[in-house]
Amino acid sequence: MSRLKKSNNKLFCEACREELSENASIIKRHVDSQKHKSGVEKIAKKKKRDLTLLDAMKNYDKEVHPKGEMLSDNQRAFRVRVLKTFLKADVPLQKMDHFRELLEEGGYRLTSVPTMRQLIPYVKKEEEEMIKGEISGHNISVIFDGTTRLAEALAIVVRFITADWEIKQRLVRFQLIAKSLKGDELARKIITVLAQQYNVQNSSLCAAMRDGASVNGAAMRTVKAVLPKVVDVYCFSHAIDGIGSDFNIPKLRRFLQLWNALFSHSPATRIAWKERMGISNEFYSPTSWWDPSFLASEITGGC
């Protein structure tokens, strides 16, 4: 299908989103171009995604009966796409009204922000089903850890290899919790998320990766009591990073203490560093939030 149509007495290509001359030779070159073929393919994929989305929404309707379930399929699919775009872009949904006029130019109406929020559980369920399909039939490993930097939080990630030998990772649980979990509680959470929520079979779970926090070690002892074949993998990065703590280098240790104190308490020092070096001095490791050795690794070039 060429995806050409008349709009305001002009020829418009829906696939490429541009106006065309009505000259026959120009139209032929345009339709034969790779850009146009790619555009047509994208529209076909979008329609396929929408059909999958609508089928999933009908199943969701039977369970929840959300507001707006009697709207047209295209109207509901539009609202879900808008919601998913806001979530992926990390834009607060309450800002939707600032975009409403622009988004509704396509002819479909949005609803109120509170009603849009009611679709979030559906989007979450859709993501879970997608991940289930991705990991089904694959051997997987699980990575888990918590942080108290901004709140008490737990993250669980699965890692697997596709048939094309691509390494994939998927976040399967991010949960803010009222208090730190004990080892057995954390183990139950991991097993429940994998087995009940994502249908991971015992034989498919090959390894679990974690750092040396005592609660993580206790959790792994419980996990291995239930799943003895799971390999307990202590984080190599943490192991290598921890080697330096056994070195007896008092002058370097004292230097780093003074260095950390200087940058922590002197804004003038931080400004002078940025002016001289062209970048700000880092305070938190991107992989270990409370790790002061990150500053040491920056000084020593990562050694």
Tell me how far apart the alpha carbons of residues 296 and 26 are, in angstroms, rounded to a whole number. Answer: 63
> Are 199 and 172 in contact, with CB atoms under 8 Å apart?
no
- The tokens describing 106, both together, are 């396509």
SS3 119: coil
What pLDDT was estimated at residue 68? 66
What pLDDT was estimated at residue 216? 92
Tell me how far apart the alpha carbons of residues 238 and 145 are, in angstroms, rounded to a whole number. Answer: 13
Its sign, for the CA torsion 186, 192, 194, 195, is positive
Q: For the chain, 303 residues long, give each residue's pLDDT as a single digit of tens.
A: 557 777 667 788 877 888 888 888 888 888 888 888 888 888 887 777 777 777 777 777 777 666 666 777 778 888 888 999 999 898 999 999 999 999 888 788 898 999 899 888 888 888 888 899 999 989 999 999 887 666 678 999 999 998 889 999 999 999 888 888 899 999 999 999 999 999 998 889 999 999 888 899 999 999 999 888 899 998 877 777 667 667 778 888 888 888 888 888 888 998 998 899 888 877 655 545 444 443 334 333 333
> Are 141 and 158 in contact, with CB atoms under 8 Å apart?
yes
- What is the pTM assigned to this prediction? 0.64
What pLDDT was estimated at residue 302? 38
66 phi/psi in degrees, rounded to 5 = -75, 165
- The tokens describing 141, both together, are 């490993």
Q: Exposure string (b/e) for 197-211, b if CB count within 10 Å is 16 or more?
A: ebebeeeebbebbbb
Q: Where are the beta strands (DSSP E) in 113-201?
A: 140-147, 153-161, 167-176
